[in-house]
Amino acid sequence: MITIKEIHSTQELKQFVTFPFTLYKNCEFWVPPLIKDEMETLDKTKNPVFKNAEASYFLAYKENEIVGRIAVIINHLEINEIGKKKVRFGWLDMIDDIEVTKALLEKVYEAGNAHNLEYAEGPVGFSNMEKAGILTKGFDEMNTMITWYHYPYYAEHFEKLGFEKQATWVEYKLSIPSSIKEKVAKFSKIVKQRYKLSVITFKNKKEILPYVDVMFDLLNKTYNTLQTFVPVQQYQIDYYKEKYFTFIQPDYITCIQDEKGNLIAFSIVMPSFTKALKKANGRLLPFGWYHLWKAQRKNDRAAFYLIGIDPEYQGKGVTAIIFEEMQYLFNSKGIDTVETNPELIENTAVQLLWKDYSPIQHKERSTFKKSL
């Protein structure tokens, strides 16, 4: 018999967060999140997203053992201002038992019907700044810090339960040449001169802070036409600043300004924390912090995290400037492989950016949708 229980206490929340550590204990490709970060993200007293969203967390039990989990999310900003009548669900993990999956999803349907919503979609986070999608390709690849890993049976369960794919993201592995491509350097110079653009460099993290809000504003402008878009609110920006600032390194950020000093484009790349997080196994102590510290300083892999370009400058070759700067960085750091963050499959403009770097599409993931 399967029992679904809504959780309320801190102890239960920790059981919710740590269930995947048991489920994926013997999986060499699953990369765990930091338990402390997950607890704070789901804590309704700490994450400011709950100013415009609400969530319920459920655990599934079978013979007194936890066999699944799910978060049911109502994003009022998305529903009331954007007009998407959907109930979100995320943090979905379960054993290979479709009855467990079915029982967990019943809680999603109940919430959606209670709020007079039209459909359910997931797995997603509270907003478009968080992890999304069930892995459908790349089961022999480790997930990055900003993505989920799933066993193949997750997608199979959804298909059997009458869900259809909604949004699909693709991810690429790029090979970085040992020197800058001549055409990239040449084109970068032309674009700088034509539009009177210059690169902003940062010596320390303190110098980055004045630009963070503008970066998020550019993100909103860059992606506001995509199907998953939900505007990032100021209180969320402040929260993300604090959450991810320790991972950011100044020389991994490229910012481009016009002749008036206005920020018109940026990119954030980070050293790959995949192997370090695997070794840390969810905890900074006693040695997790050391693995992350080491990954920041010596690494042959990196990951594109965010890229934003003012719509006025899109299609004008600004990316050549970004790639030139990134190339110098990668070569100086000894980085020869870069992973892209998930990109919506219809976002061909972004995918074209990688064509000169021997791109291999090594992962794919989708959200699944069902009418209520």
Q: Find out if CATH 3.40.50.970 is the number for domain 174-363.
A: no
pLDDT at 282: 95
pLDDT at 336: 94
CATH for the 2-171 domain, from 3.10.450.200, 3.30.465.10, 3.40.47.10, 3.40.630.30:
3.40.630.30
CA–CA gap between residue 212 and residue 268 (Å, rounded): 11
Q: What is the mean pLDDT of residues 212-226?
A: 74
**How does residue 53 score in pLDDT terms, banded at 50, 70 and 90?**
very high
pLDDT at 352: 77
pLDDT at 112: 96
DSSP 32: P
* Helix, strand and coil percent figures for the chain, each rounded to 5: 40, 25, 30
* Residue corresponding to tokens 């809000």: 213
* Residue corresponding to tokens 């929260």: 239
Q: Is the pLDDT of residue 240 over 60?
A: yes
**Whole-model pTM?**
0.89
Q: Please list, in sequence order, all residues whose beta carbon lies within 8 angstroms of the beta carbon of residue 286, skipping any fewer than 6 positions away.
A: none
* All CATH 3.40.630.30 domain ranges in the chain, comma separated: 2-171, 174-363
pLDDT, tens only, 175-187: 998 888 788 888 8
Q: Are 134 and 154 in contact (CB under 8 A)?
A: yes
pLDDT, tens only, 220-234: 776 665 555 666 777
Comparing CA positions, the residue from 240, 237, 221, 239 lying closest to residue 229 is 221
Q: Extract the tokens encoding 23.
A: 């489920």
User: ∠22-120-13 over CA atoms, to 5°?
Assistant: 35
pLDDT, tens only, 57-97: 999 999 999 999 999 999 998 898 888 899 999 999 999 99
Q: Is the pLDDT of residue 296 over 90?
A: no
H helices, E strands: number in the chain: 12, 14
pLDDT at 366: 97
pLDDT, tens only, 187-210: 899 999 999 999 998 888 888 888
Q: Please count the other Cβ atoms lying within 10 Å of the Cβ belonging to residue 293.
A: 11
Mean pLDDT of the chain: 90
Q: What is the mean pLDDT of residues 284-303?
A: 91
pLDDT at 290: 92
pLDDT over 70, % of the chain: 96
Q: What is the mean pLDDT of residues 6-15?
A: 96
Q: Please list, in sequence order, all residues whose beta carbon lies within 8 angstroms of the beta carbon of residue 185, skipping any fewer than 6 positions away.
A: 324
pLDDT at 4: 97
Q: What is the mean pLDDT of residues 37-49?
A: 92
Comparing CA positions, the residue from 70, 109, 228, 165 lying closest to residue 369 is 165
Q: Extract the tokens encoding 358.
A: 């021997």
CA–CA gap between residue 109 and residue 161 (Å, rounded): 13
